């Protein structure tokens, strides 16, 4: 009797961990709904975990983020968290995981996606006067010295070339700052991401903003073409999201503030508080994209009057 009992114990399945519910960004819907694929935990923080898929399309990094976290990236699955329960306590960098079949798993944590949220804010029609006022407010609340590339000529050159509608030189300027700076999301990438978001989303809300969208299309294609080899895997995924107009929650709030849909000042404060340099860098990019969009719209209006 002893041998059969041992065989049964060894062959019995391992108990399945009960999944926690999650709310996933539409940016990662393809990854979550496909058959499951292997992943690896590449970073662990008290309020978030980052999983890198070993194959598939971008975004190949999926963030698992606690619901109390200040930051909510565009590639996130949000899971319940509170002061008494930390969902990532049992997860370690290097742990195996997987994503697919409606779930994501990282170490001891298993998440089942129960609902979805859209990372692309709908800004609606916005007047140039409203946007110009918002840009002034954003600029007044931005501490440039806290930006990771403060004093570097690259971001300013990129902003100038975008405002002039000079795609060729804008691409050259952007390529010089991709991957530039320390951290999981280097400062140069954060600036570019904010710029792309403003060009696409504000350009889509302004009369005559088609030139800004065109610029976002081509600039986004250029910086994401080989991002996987030029910057971190997380930053490459977020650049792909930004190129599609998919924003982190705190950046989306600033864009809505610029459009007059919510109070801008608190939104800027929240964005500025995320990361050592990431928040200020994204804010700088949002401002540069906003100014470029206004400049391109004014140039288009001037051409219509002349014609």
User: What does the pLDDT look like over 235-255, one tens digit per residue?
Assistant: 999 999 999 999 999 999 999
Q: Are residues 60 and 191 in the same domain?
A: no
The count of domains in the chain is 2
Q: Is residue 37 part of a domain?
A: yes
| β-bridge mates for residue 109, sequence order | 106
Q: Is residue 122 part of a domain?
A: no
Q: Around Cβ 302, how many Cβ atoms within 10 Å?
A: 10
Domain boundary, last residue among 90, 117, 144: 117
Q: Does pLDDT of 307 surpass 60? A: no
Q: Is residue 123 part of a domain?
A: no
Confidence band of 36 (pLDDT split at 50, 70, 90): very high
Q: Are residues 297 and 276 in the same domain?
A: yes
Domain boundary, last residue among 97, 117, 137: 117
Domain residues for the domain of 93 are 9-117
240/235 Cα distance (integer angstroms) = 9
Q: Are residues 68 and 173 in the same domain?
A: no
Give the residue-averaged pLDDT of 198-227: 95
Q: Are residues 52 and 151 in the same domain?
A: no
Q: Around Cβ 69, how many Cβ atoms within 10 Å?
A: 19
248/245 Cα distance (integer angstroms) = 10
pTM across the whole model: 0.91
pLDDT tens digits, residue range 63-87? 999 999 888 999 999 999 886 667 8
160/166 Cα distance (integer angstroms) = 9
Confidence band of 145 (pLDDT split at 50, 70, 90): confident
Confidence band of 231 (pLDDT split at 50, 70, 90): very high
Q: What is the length of the chain?
A: 307
Q: Are residues 153 and 191 in the same domain?
A: yes
């Amino acid at each position: 009797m002893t041998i059969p009992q041992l065989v049964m114990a060894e062959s019995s399945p391992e108990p399945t961990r009960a999944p926690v519910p999650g709310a996933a960004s539409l940016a990662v819907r393809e990854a979550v709904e496909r058959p499951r694929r292997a992943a690896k935990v590449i970073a662990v923080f008290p309020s978030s975990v980052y999983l890198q898929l070993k194959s598939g399309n971008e975004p190949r990094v999926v963030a698992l983020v606690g619901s109390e976290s200040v930051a909510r990236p565009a590639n996130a699955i949000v899971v319940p968290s509170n002061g008494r329960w930390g969902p990532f306590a049992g997860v370690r960098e290097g742990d195996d995981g997987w994503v697919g079949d409606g779930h994501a798993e990282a170490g001891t944590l298993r998440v089942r996606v129960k609902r979805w949220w859209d990372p692309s804010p709908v800004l609606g029609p916005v007047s140039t006067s409203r946007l110009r006022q918002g840009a002034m407010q954003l600029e007044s609340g931005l501490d440039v010295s806290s930006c990771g590339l403060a004093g570097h000529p690259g971001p300013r050159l990129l902003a100038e070339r975008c405002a002039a509608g000079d795609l060729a030189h804008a691409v050259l300027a952007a390529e010089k700052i991709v991957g530039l700076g320390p951290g999981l999301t280097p400062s140069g990438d954060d600036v570019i991401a904010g710029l792309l978001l403003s060009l696409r989303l504000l350009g889509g809300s302004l009369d005559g903003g088609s030139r800004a969208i065109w610029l976002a299309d081509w600039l986004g294609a250029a910086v994401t073409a080989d991002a996987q080899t030029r910057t971190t895997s997380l930053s490459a995924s977020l650049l792909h999201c930004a190129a599609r107009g998919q924003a982190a929650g705190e950046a989306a709030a600033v864009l809505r503030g610029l459009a007059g849909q919510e109070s801008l000042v608190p939104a800027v404060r929240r964005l500025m508080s995320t990361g050592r340099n990431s928040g200020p860098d994204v804010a700088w990019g949002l401002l540069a994209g906003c100014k470029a969009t206004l400049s391109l719209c004014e140039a288009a209006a001037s051409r219509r009057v002349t014609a």
